[in-house]
A and B are shown apart, each in its own frame.
Chain A
């Protein structure tokens, strides 16, 4: 076995160690082999006096293991703010699931994490699984209170626990599911956003992403000053508000709420549909390669861009409502 073969074999078996520790160890073995060769031994002989890389790796791991276990437990029970085990640069995915949980994530220079319980001491745990940072939340509140929609909307006493994160890096995936609680995102960049708040609203500002899906059953969904390739907003009863959003494909749907789009991107595929609400769209500029289509079964349509015929549209923006009115400027 050559020196490089030995070192490569040994390195491969020590990957679970930190690179500092691993390199320190590999250097010692390399120096040992070099010393042997300087003493007149052949490379093969110098390497063979060391023994078999696998057995050596096993012994090293059993020595290093003791210290690793003491220093870095993987899962930490809240309520504590043990952030030193988490390196944002190594995290690509954040996945949050809670029942009575308000989530606020904003951009910042250093990683911060804060959990505040609304008094009922919900069970909150977080952990790191490879490149994923996971948060799981169970509120004792949720089990005690009988929920009805009006009660939630009226009653400020139904306070949720709150998770606040300041995140300095970008992500590949951000996934949030909360039953009762609002979600606020500001200044984040990720490939895919998948956010669902059942009863609370979703408010998104200064976000950059490839795919964005923001859903709320009862609450409003608001997206402002953001850019995506593909953006999808949906709410059953809430209102959809979009302001200064740039995206090639935009899909907005609400059953009972209104859709309000300001500073709309003139050339893009916007599909907006509401059953009972109204649609109001104001464009920055006149579309050049987009066909605008508006349809309502029972309401009025005021389309100031109606007579604006486009020859070969690249995009189609389609606005439909069953019972509401549509107004496009």
Chain B
């Protein structure tokens, strides 16, 4: 699948899952993987960026029989940002679909 599409929409996908439920990296990779095929490794730089931008927070939670896991949750700014890019996505994909219909 086209790399540009994936890159552009990954943030939307990540924030959407994190909004539904706070989760750790591996969990997130499994969730997204059910829908689209991504290189799991690209999630962590993205998550770091989202934390720096203040859209996401992280905290460690002990897990039974393993090391503590770093959980990611959405902040208020993150929630607002998600709504905004979700809206943009809807508008943009609707426009592109229309263009394709009109030209084919």
Chain A residues near B (Cβ < 8 Å): 25, 27-29, 31-32, 34-36, 38, 49-53, 55-56, 59-60, 62-64, 66-67
Contact = CB atoms under 8 A, between A and B. Distances in A.
Contact of A32 (B40, B45, B48, B66): B40
A32 B52 contact: no
Contacts of B40: 32, 49-51
Contact of B48 (A27, A31, A63): A63
B48 A29 contact: no
Contact of B42 (A38, A51, A67): A51
Main secondary structure of the interface of B (DSSP, over half): helix
Interface residues of B, number: 17
A59 B69 contact: no
Contacts of A28: 25, 44, 70
7 contacts: A28-B70, A31-B67, A32-B25, A49-B41, A50-B41, A55-B41, A55-B42
**Smallest CB-CB A-B distances: 3 pairs:** A51-B39, A50-B41, A59-B45
A67 B52 contact: yes
A50 B29 CA distance: 10
Given A28-B70, A31-B67, A50-B41, A60 B29 contact: no
Given A28-B25, A32-B26, A36-B26, A66 B52 contact: yes
Nearest to B45: A59
Contacts, number: 58
A50 B41 CA distance: 4
A35 B28 CA distance: 12
Given A31-B69, A63-B52, A67-B52, A56 B41 contact: yes
B41 A64 contact: no
A35 B67 CA distance: 10
B61 interface: no
B46 to A, nearest CB: 8
Interface in B1-55: 25-26, 29, 39-42, 44-46, 48-49, 52
Contact of A31 (B26, B41, B45, B52): B26
| Among B26, B29, B67, B70: residue with most chain A CB under 10 A | B26
A49 B45 CA distance: 15
A50 B67 CA distance: 20
Contacts of B29: 32, 49
Nearest to A67: B52
| Among B39, B52, B70: residue with most chain A CB under 10 A | B39
B93 to A, nearest CB: 25
Contacts of B42: 51, 55-56, 59
B39 A25 contact: no
B41 A63 contact: no
Nearest to B48: A63
A35 B41 contact: no
B33 to A, nearest CB: 8
A34 B25 CA distance: 12
Given A31-B69, A49-B39, A25 B52 contact: no
Contacts of B41: 29, 49-53, 55-56
A66 B41 CA distance: 20
A56 B45 contact: yes
A52 B40 CA distance: 10
Contacts of B49: 63
A59 B47 CA distance: 11
| Among B25, B29, B40, B52: residue with most chain A CB under 10 A | B40
